[in-house]
Amino acid sequence: MMMGLQFLLVLLPLFAVFIGIIFFKRNAAEMAVLGLLICFTVAVVFFDTSLFVATTAAIYGFLESFGISIAIIFTMLLIFLMREVGALGTISKAIKRVAHTKEEQALFIGIGFGTFVTSLGIVTPALFPPLLIAMGFGPSSAVAISVLGYNASTSFAILSIPITLPAELFAGELGMSVLEFGYEFAFRIALFLPVIATILSIAMLWIIGGIKSVKKGLVPALLSGLIIGFMSIFLVIIRAPIMVLGVIVGLVSMIGLYLYFRWDRKRNGIILEHEPIDKKKLLRALSPWLLLIVLASIASVPAINEFLRTLDPGFTSWLIAYETVNFNVFAQVYFWIGVTAFASFFLLKPTIKQSKKALKTWSRSIWAPFIAYSLFFSIAYIMAWSGGSMNGEELVIDIDSNMNYIAGLFLGNVFGPGYIFVAASLGLFGAIVGGSETASNVLLFGIQRQVTEQIGLSDNQFMSVYAGHGVAGGVASAITPSKINNAVATIGKGRKLESEILRKHLLIVFIITLILSIMTAIFVSIGF
């Protein structure tokens, strides 16, 4: 009974965030503040955490969040600048030359191009809806494509931060190097993708036109899903840079769909005429992304990445509660996104008016996502350090009072070996509450680790559980309130459409999560 009450207290901050977002329509930043206050209070009052440890844990988590929170800030600057100078419009026109039917456009833009740009850190719920409305899609389909399609590559998004950041934070707990953890995690995730990416491709067709669209676009849907899935596995096996793995997968998917569309039209004798494309203008529009791909690829080469970690400008290491925060600024992807964003002022040559407008929009828009991402990391570290006190200069954690340990012990006792069938749903829940897969991967790593240890799984088996968790967190974008709200807002629609999208996608996400759970159980059972 006591453990059950403690388990509810552990989940109280997360449930508070979930209820606030879903039922009270509060934004993620507001609920992150509330969640942090609740978590801090619960840790101190009910789990014997000293005020000093709880405070420093919150600070430590805030600083560790920079790997994604600052990346998001620089990415938003790049997006707003490209939008103001018309670069996004130029790229969109080039895409429309390739895909013509609704099914082709949904797959090419939502799955292929969506995977590509999301892997570069572009927020597709903010980018796609106006484009898709202009192309003739209804509001519901436009939003659905924007929040559903790019999930085909799940964790290989935002220059693969959902993989590289947990590797930075947790590799030591499994006795691995950061690089080893990253590739092991990426490989386990990739194993899910041939099935998951294909299901998402078919689900997108169902959303835009029911069984008629599924029949019409089934072959390219299978093609796009399988390309993404098996290409991901291949690239991880050959150790392609994780930062740009999603970029490559998205690009190959686009090429595969383009070649199929050409072959299919030629086979059926369909001839289409196009206006000539200004290649110089298109190259300029693409130049920021091309630069980012090059810089990220170079920075992710192991030898170069290790060298970049040795460059210390004097502020890359802070001591919090006698625990070191290593920023490794030059080795982090956010540094290179920042370089690209500022270089884009020279590459895109915006006018003074365009620059001012982009900077004004950027300065107004960055605070909510920055606060949300940062504070969810703070919550994760308060939970990880709960039950802690200082013994001189040493942080000592009483495991019997640790929130993660107690949650893991409770779930292990309740589900036992059967936990492997529900583990993925924890990733789904964490992403809905935290607003992203990265937040879920960080926020709930400790609980997943404790449960798997409790039920006697090996480190290998844990990685399969954690990968299923991550994939479910990526799929959760289809029903994450903040993303749906973002997409709906770009086309001026209200809460009625948000509710409609959420209801439609719930069944799809439930089915995918069920399949993920079964696949996770199979992988664990065969020793993966």
Q: Can you tell me the mean pLDDT for 295-323? A: 70
Looking at the predicted structure, is the pLDDT value of residue 521 above 90?
yes
CA distance 496 to 242: 39
Check if the beta carbon of residue 323 is closer than 8 Å to that of residue 60.
yes
pLDDT in tens, 432-476: 766 678 878 987 898 899 889 889 999 999 999 999 999 999 898
User: If we measure between CA atoms, which residue out of 75, 118, 113 comes closest to residue 94?
Assistant: 113
Backbone angles phi, psi at 473, to 5 degrees: -65, -35
pLDDT at residue 317, as a whole number: 47
pLDDT in tens, 188-198: 999 999 999 99
CA terminus-to-terminus distance, the chain: 35
Dmax over CA atoms of the chain, in Å, equals 80
pLDDT in tens, 103-119: 999 999 889 988 887 88
Share of the chain above pLDDT 90, in %: 37
Check if the beta carbon of residue 412 is closer than 8 Å to that of residue 455.
yes
Q: What is the mean pLDDT of the chain?
A: 86
pLDDT at residue 275, as a whole number: 67
Q: Can you list the alpha helix ranges (DSSP code H) found in 386-422?
A: 403-415
pLDDT in tens, 164-187: 889 988 999 899 999 999 999 999
Check if the beta carbon of residue 331 is closer than 8 Å to that of residue 308.
yes
Q: How many structural domains is the chain composed of?
A: 1
pTM of this structure: 0.81
Show the tokens assigned to 450.
């404790």
DSSP for 244-263? HHHHHHHHHHHHHHHHHHHH
Check if the beta carbon of residue 469 is closer than 8 Å to that of residue 427.
yes
User: Among all chains, which residue has been given the structure tokens 């436009």?
Assistant: 142
Residue 439's domain comprises 2-525
User: If we measure between CA atoms, which residue out of 328, 296, 334 comes closest to residue 310?
Assistant: 328
pLDDT in tens, 245-267: 888 999 999 999 999 998 988 88
